Amino acid sequence: MSTVKLTVNGRAVSAEVEDRTLLVHLLRDHLNLTGTHVGCDTSQCGACVVHVDGRAVKSCTMLVGQANGANVTTIEGISKGDELHPMQAAFRDNHGLQCGYCTPGMIMSAIDIVNRHGGQLDEATVRQELEGNICRCTGYHNIVKSVLDAAGRMKVSAAAE
C-alpha cells in the first residue's frame, strides 16, 4: 500500500491504495468520479482518457504512483458551473454521442487534439488523431463534426479570454 497525493479537478486529494492500482480505478472507485470509463483491457478504446498535467492520458495505463503529484482533470472537471466546455457543447449540438459510454474519453481526447493543433484542424487530421478512441454507436461522422465545430468555438473563447 502507498499513499499518493495529487490534484484532481482542482481539488487536492490523498489516498491510500494498493501499488497496483491504476489511475482509472482511483478516480472511479476511491473518488467516485465515474464519468471516466473502462471499455477494454488493452489501452485501445480510449473510454478512460483524462488529462494529466494538461495532456491526454489513458488512465487505465497509468499506475496511481505515476500520477503522484500530478494535476489530473476528468470529464467532471471541464465545465465552469453550468457553462459547458465548448467541446461538450459541440458534442451535444452535433449529436456526437449516442450511448454516451465512449463520450467522456472522446471529449477529453478531442480537447487535447484541438489544443495540440492550435485549432488548425481538418477532417482527415481529426480522423487520424481519433485513432485511440473507439465508438461503436456514431460511426464517427458526428464526432468528427463535433470536434471541428468545437475547434472553432475554442478559438473564439480563447480569443475572448
Partner 1 sequence: MGVEGIGASVVRKEDKRFITGKGRYVDDIKLQGMTHAQFVRSPHAHAKVKGIDSSAALKMPGVVAVLTGQQIVDDKVGNLICGWAVSSKDGTPMKMGAWPAMAPETVRFVGQAVAVVIAETKNQAKDAAEAVVVDYEELPAVANIRAAIAPGAAQLHPEAPGNVVYDWAIGDEAAVKDAFSKAANVVTLELTNNRLVPNAMEPRAAIAEYNDAEEHFTLYTTSQNPHVARLVLSAFYNIAPEHKLRVIAPDVGGGFGSKIFIYPEEMVALWASKKVNRPVKWTGDRTEAFLTDAHGRDHVSKAELAFDKDNKILGLRVKTHANFGAYMSLFSSSVPTYLYATLLSGQYNIPAIYAEVMGVYTNSSPVDAYRGAGRPEASFLIERLMETSARQLKVDPAELRRKNFITVFPHQTPVIMAYDTGDFNASLDAALKTVDYAGFPARQAKAKSEGKLRGIGFSCYIEACGIAPSKAVGSLGAGVGLWESAEVRVNPVGTIEILTGSHSHGQGHETTFAQLISERLGVPISQVQIVHGDTDKVQFGMGTYGSRSLAVGGSAIIKAMEKVEAKAKKIAAHQLEASEDDIVIENGEFKVTGTDKSIALPMVALAAYTAHNLPDGMEPGLKESAFYDPSNFTFPAGTYICEIEVDPGTGKTSFVNFVAADDFGRLINPMIVEGQVHGGLTQGIGQALLEGAVYDDSGQLVTASFMDYAMPRADDVPTYKLQHTTTLCPGNPLGVKGCGEAGAIGASAAVINAITNAIGNNKLEMPATPDRVWHAIHGQA
**Residues at the site binding partner 1, with contacts judged by CB under 8 A:** 18, 20, 28, 33-42, 44-45, 47, 74-76, 79, 84, 88, 91-93, 95, 97-104, 107, 123-124, 126-128, 130-131, 133-144
Q: Which is nearer to partner 1, 27 or 69 (CB)?
A: 27
| Nearest-5° Cα angle at 26, 37 to 55 | 70
Q: How far is the CB of 54 from partner 1 (least distance, A)?
A: 19
Q: Which three cell numbers stand for residue 134?
A: 473507439
63 bridge partner residues: 22
User: In angstroms, rounded to a whole number, what is the distance separating the alpha carbons of residues 95 and 89?
Assistant: 10
Q: Which is nearer to partner 1, 23 or 102 (CB)?
A: 102
Q: How far is the CB of 93 from partner 1 (least distance, A)?
A: 6
Three-state DSSP state, 135 = coil
Q: How far is the CB of 36 from partner 1 (least distance, A)?
A: 7
Three-state DSSP state, 3 = strand
Q: How far is the CB of 79 from partner 1 (least distance, A)?
A: 6
Q: Which is nearer to partner 1, 49 or 67 (CB)?
A: 49
Q: Which is nearer to partner 1, 12 or 124 (CB)?
A: 124
Q: In what order do the strands lie in the sheet with 2-8?
A: 11-17, 2-8, 71-73, 49-52, 55-58
